[in-house]
Amino acid sequence: GAVVSQHPSRVICKSGTSVKIECRSLDFQATTMFWYRQFPKQSLMLMATSNEGSKATYEQGVEKDKFLINHASLTLSTLTVTSAHPEDSSFYICSARRGPTGNTIYFGEGSWLTVV
């Protein structure tokens, strides 16, 4: 079964509104989670590192005020796309490593965002 779960799997929102995507580690605690974005037929691009109890670390070129990340507990990170525009339409995927010495990095099922 899934080790990392995302919700919703698909969301359509109107331009200018905000949408929240959740990422949960199901049977382990994750002090760090990662958010990626994947445009159609492209690779995954690391957006930010979500740190439990502290601010997220954003990759260069990713607007922190537009992509709000909150990691309020050891099993939940949320990504909020604020004032979404059609160009934000993408596949958003989160990941987490199972334990500090775990070797496998698990990915969520992904969330399709369509901004109309």
Interface residues with another protein (CB under 8 A) are 31-32, 34, 36, 42-46, 49, 57, 93, 95-97, 100, 103-110
Q: Which is nearer to another protein, 17 or 42 (CB)?
A: 42
Q: Least CB distance from residue 82 to another protein, whole Å? A: 24
- Give whichever of 84 and 108 is closer to another protein, judged by the CB atom: 108
- Among candidate residues 39, 37, 25, 38, the one with its CA nearest the CA of residue 105: 25
Q: Which string of DSSP letters, residue by residue, matches 40-93?
A: TTS-EEEEEEEETTS--EEPTT--TTTEEEEEEETTEEEEEE-S--GGG-EEEE
Shortest distance (Å) from residue 47 CB to another protein = 11
Helices and strands (H and E) in the chain: how many: 0, 11
Nearest to another protein of 18, 29 (CB atom): 29
For residue 113, the SS3 value is strand
Instruction: Please work out, in degrees rounded to the nearest 5, the angle formed at the alpha carbon of residue 35 by the alpha carbons of 34 and 36.
Output: 125
- Taking the least distance from each CB to another protein, the nearer of 5 and 80 is 5
Least separation in angstroms between residue 99's CB and another protein is 9
CB of 83 to another protein, least distance (A): 26
